[in-house]
Structure 1
């Protein structure tokens, strides 16, 4: 934002600019953003890229010499390129608005400054070299309505509320809290056990990922569904009683997998094989 503000201050700055490229790479559970200025200075073309303040290795002196401005972080990236003419027209509107004392017709609630994001992340405990583990939670226990940082078992972690896009989730800074992913899962499960006892409701720790420099919520598991505008179904119920039992065991296995009850999942799928071959032969076949 500071670079764009400086760009709009002087006409010569807009004339020196060739383009501004804004990129977003969709990564499971997170988004990677990239901004790159291409401009002319001293008769040659130069490039300047946005680097997050959390990327400490890139903010060191001399790091820009070997920095690859065109490196992509994902195999699929969306890009928006704004030309010199775009900023010239924008500067004219800004200058006219200032001259006439009229504000730009913009709903600023759509935008969040970097300072606001940094303050939010600082409140959630983000530090240099942070490496957050983010795990989803399926529960009906009492939960805070806003992202909240708490201390439990001598460690700090963050609770994210459920939204239309995200599930309840827990995040912890593995690096600065000095814990492994396995130790963090144990801590989370003990925290959920206490909540379950207090509210007499279930609380299941789900899957997630680690590596984010800031804590992020976990997307909901039940967003995507398979539907058809015209649902055509032409199957009939099998006459084989054994096959019907196999289908029942198979469905129970999938249900147990969804509830993360591994023992019930394995037992249900084992019963499907056992309907065909009983005794040690089925065990040998599975092995």
Structure 2
């Protein structure tokens, strides 16, 4: 299995400025801080963590919409900065995104035909208006909509239908890699399942590779092959899906998994590992392990030294002194 996307020591720091005319940085927001992972072609990496952990910023870096402060991103064997410098249009065709909120990501003044077909026009993928209409209609059918929806506007659709339109727009350029930034979080639970099953079907038929960003572990478990757990800009644990859910090693992962609601009859007395406190500020992260202020198992070494991200089993990586 070949690797399509990989990162090594990826960082993104945003300056905190003072002054209006000549703003000088007085600090840095460490949104992404030394992230390394890889995604095999045709597979899905689920990136999970609390709000503010750096998941969406990581996605924007992989899309080339933000420039890294340090580290590297390799796409199909080449650094993406080379792609963006030599042939940015080719990179945009091969890498697409589905955003979180379908109510905000679609232009309310454009018809579905124009929304989905705009990328095809810009990249010259249709020789005539008739061919463009036919290709957009075929995409709508592929994502579970109908040809009659071509000339309607976004406000005429439900949330699930709008997200299908957003998926059709992402597919319009026939990409290889799609960043899915919480694509189901704004939808009802029953609609979430439909969208997840659609994404899995499209992946199987088109050979797509996904980075699936979410805070919902149940959703990630349904769609991912591998899972990376992110906290305060760093990856705490990464492994194949089955092993991470059955044998979590990092205390943060254990606490996240224990917080998933469980329904049983008769009711069982299940201990829940509640994560106390709020996520620290990325402006002044704690010394040592970033999770140590909230970790019940934290030792002195956890407060002083950042643990290495190391492979403890085949394919199972963790950053914890206590493992």
TM-score by length of 1: 0.22
TM-score by length of 2: 0.20
Larger radius of gyration: 1
Which structure has more relative contact order (CA 8 Å, sep 6+)? It is 2
